[in-house]
Amino acid sequence: MSKRESDILYFVSFCIEQYKRHHGMAGGDVMSLFDEYHVTEYLFENYDMLHTQGASWLMEEIENYIGEHKK
């Protein structure tokens, strides 16, 4: 695994943990939600822009992304 791949995986796991804490959810429930709305793929594909942002901004971005895809 390359350094970049490792960095992206660390970032995605950070987002999952932050979302879990932010919403008081179990890890499995967050993963189910992220799978349903393809959040993990979104985080991977947009890593270059997203990883420079703070945790609060990321939580809002993920919530907006999920909200847009619930419609």
Segments making up each domain of the chain, as ranges: 3-70
Q: Which ranges of 1-71 does DSSP label H, i.e. alpha helix? A: 3-23, 27-36, 39-45, 47-50, 55-70
User: What does the pLDDT look like over 10-59, one tens digit per residue?
Assistant: 999 999 999 999 999 999 999 999 999 999 999 999 999 999 999 999 99
- What pLDDT score does 29 carry? 97
42 Cβ contact list (under 8 Å, min separation 6): 65
Is the pLDDT score of 71 beyond 90? no
Find out whether 26 and 15 touch, Cβ atoms under 8 Å. no
Residue 23 pLDDT: 96
Task: Tell me the whole-structure pTM to 2 decimals.
Answer: 0.91
pLDDT attached to residue 58: 97
CA–centroid distance for 9 within its chain: 10
pLDDT at 70: 86
